[in-house]
Amino acid sequence: MPTKPPDLIYGVDETPPTVTLLLLGLQHIFLVTSALVFPVVIIRAVGGTAEDAAFIVTMSMLAGSIGTVLQTINRKGIGSGYLCPAVCGPSYISASLLAMQTGGLSLLYGMTAVAGAAEALFSRFLHRLRFLFPTEVTGVVVTMVGIAVIPIAVQNLLGTGTGDPFTEPAELFVAAVTLGTMVAASVWGRGSLRLYSVLVGMVVGYVAAAATGVLGPDAIARFVDAPLFAFPEIRHPGWSFDAALLLPFIVVVISSTFKTIGDLTTCQKINDTGWKRPDMKNISGGILADGLSAVVAGLLGGMGQATSSSNVGLSIGTAAASRAIAYVVAAILLVLVFVPKLAAAFVIMPQPVMGSVVIFAVTFIIVTGLRIITSRMLDARRTFVVGLSFIFGLGAGMIPDFTAGMHPLVQPVFASSLSVATVTALVVNLIFRIGIAERQSLVLEPGTGFPNAIFSFFERVGGAWGARPEVIRRAESAVNELMELITIVDAADGPVQVDVKFTEEALSIDARYRGRPLDLEPGPSAAGGQSDDEGDLARLPVLLIRQYADSVRTDGRGGECRVRLHFEH
């Protein structure tokens, strides 16, 4: 059973009072609705109409409401049961733009539904394919999700785009004021100001745009004329499918899956003070909910949905992780579907304001990806996985007409920097897995010289395995203390054979030697027959070994002694 951390006010299974619950839900809505800028970006990038933008925003809110409930229920293998709302996923932007340019809205909706179905299917096999997704691959994909959006984000920030290749001074002013306000509120703000930094920046941006003429009278009139309550206008064009776009949307599935794994792992950690490792069964249910949310979005006419990292962070900041808050978020989103004025507010959003919001969000995505990469040890192989993926991914985005001359079936693989980087990371990782064994061995001589040998060994194998640095440090220290103890009490008649086995769940060490057995129970003795002075010297290594390792076992038979150390990973 998970143990609620003492600094968490409302745990996942607790329900806050009604008024508090509503206020907490409203706080999350501010972050959820900020992601509605992404579907507007897609529609505008291909010259879509304001009506199309309003429809996709409205349907995205409805899909987000359903997706949030699916993520929260945690029943019959669907959902994680955590506060992790569904929002318009930035992972979908590049592929969605490609679908719009190729076949319009019908192809966008059809491919989004197909991508969601693929993610739902993938969730059933996730535990068997875990070797394909080490942290360096996950980190590369998450980072490239942000990097791939940079061109369109900067284009909007500067107020350029279809039919408008020039940046006006007023647009630069609005961009600077909007982005500057968001950053300042996030860095120097306290309390509510920091919590609502995006919302505050958007309001300031709208005011600045209206004052400078960037937000024209026609746009303002469209917002004023929009009804406060109304049933959404159905403008669904139907669904279509293009096999040539299957690979780009599979890349979206991989990106969205990686992001969801990170979000749900964080949810598990903040709700359990005794957390050791990700619960993959729980995460599989969450990814299934993620995929079903995208299917719903495609069927309804919205943008693909994914879990929101920002909302997970908000639950940490407010110390409130109750799943009841998620149901309030879903209910508010459902109500907003029938408020066209809100959709109009996003449809008329000035380009500099839109670009500022996207850049603000992308900043956190990129840094999160880099943190994932550096959370594990990197040897030469893993360094090449990261470096080559970034080089080829970024290179593909920098070269004009990169796909010109390629076969039509191959072009989608290289259609964006995200797809090139993801494919490169997966292929290079599979190649570099050759020659990496789960088991490694080291022979140590009691006496002197073993610390350097231990350090070099664990640095090498830790990097090859991509282990967590803190686990490798504890293992190094435990083996070093074990050798110190064997030397102090003169327990071994010869060398010590150290066998190390690594999996994503654990690091196991089996040290064998011939000689006297060690007693590693806390107490005055560590080996039979030693002097009192030796016993005093042996107490500290015994205590340290037990502190470093999660479990310690000893046994001896036929003159061969064995010490087994286990480390949760």
How far CA 254 is from CA of 107, 157, 250, 272, 445, in Å, comes to: 20, 28, 6, 27, 47
Phi and psi of 444, rounded to 5°? -120, 140
CA 296, CA 277: separation in Å to the nearest integer?
Answer: 31
**Spatial contact of 302 and 56, defined as CB atoms under 8 Å apart:** yes
Query: Each residue of 186-212: pLDDT tens digit?
Result: 888 876 677 677 778 888 999 999 999
Quick one: pLDDT at residue 31? Answer: 76
Q: Residue holding tokens 């959003």?
A: 349
Query: Each residue of 325-346: pLDDT tens digit?
Result: 999 999 999 988 998 887 788 7
More confident residue, 172 or 44: 172
Q: Percent of the chain at pLDDT above 90?
A: 43
Quick one: pLDDT at residue 77? Answer: 92
Nearest to 357 by CA among 212, 157, 196: 157
pLDDT tier, 412 (very low <50, low <70, confident <90, very high otherwise)? low
CA 208, CA 22: separation in Å to the nearest integer?
Answer: 31
CA 332, CA 484: separation in Å to the nearest integer?
Answer: 62
Q: 443: helix, coil or strand?
A: strand
**Spatial contact of 197 and 186, defined as CB atoms under 8 Å apart:** yes
Query: Each residue of 458-480: pLDDT tens digit?
Result: 999 998 888 889 999 999 999 99
CA 318, CA 183: separation in Å to the nearest integer?
Answer: 20
CA 192, CA 246: separation in Å to the nearest integer?
Answer: 43
Quick one: pLDDT at residue 244? Answer: 85
Query: Each residue of 290-307: pLDDT tens digit?
Result: 999 999 999 999 999 999
pLDDT tier, 24 (very low <50, low <70, confident <90, very high otherwise)? confident
Phi and psi of 62, rounded to 5°? -65, -45
**Spatial contact of 305 and 87, defined as CB atoms under 8 Å apart:** yes
Query: Each residue of 487-518: pLDDT tens digit?
Result: 999 999 999 999 999 987 899 999 999 998 99
Helical residues (DSSP H) of 81-168, grouped into ranges: 93-123, 135-157
CA 263, CA 167: separation in Å to the nearest integer?
Answer: 37
CATH of domain 439-568: 3.30.565.10
For the chain, what's the residue count? 569
Provide the residue ranges of all domains of the chain, joining segments of one domain with +: 18-163+221-349+362-373, 439-568
CA 417, CA 257: separation in Å to the nearest integer?
Answer: 18
Q: Which residues contact 275 (CB under 8 A, 6 or more apart)?
A: 2, 268, 269
Exposure pattern of 395-433 as b/e (b: 16+ CB <10 Å)? ebbeeeebbeeeeeeebbbbbbbbbbbbbbbbebbeebe
**Spatial contact of 449 and 484, defined as CB atoms under 8 Å apart:** no
Q: Which residues contact 365 (CB under 8 A, 6 or more apart)?
A: 90, 142, 143, 145, 146, 309
Q: Residue holding tokens 């570099």?
A: 432
Quick one: pLDDT at residue 397? Answer: 80
Looking at mean pLDDT, say which of 197-206, 275-284, 391-400, 492-501 comes out highest: 492-501
Helix (H) or strand (E) holding 428: helix 417-432
Mean pLDDT of 347-366: 84
CA 118, CA 294: separation in Å to the nearest integer?
Answer: 10
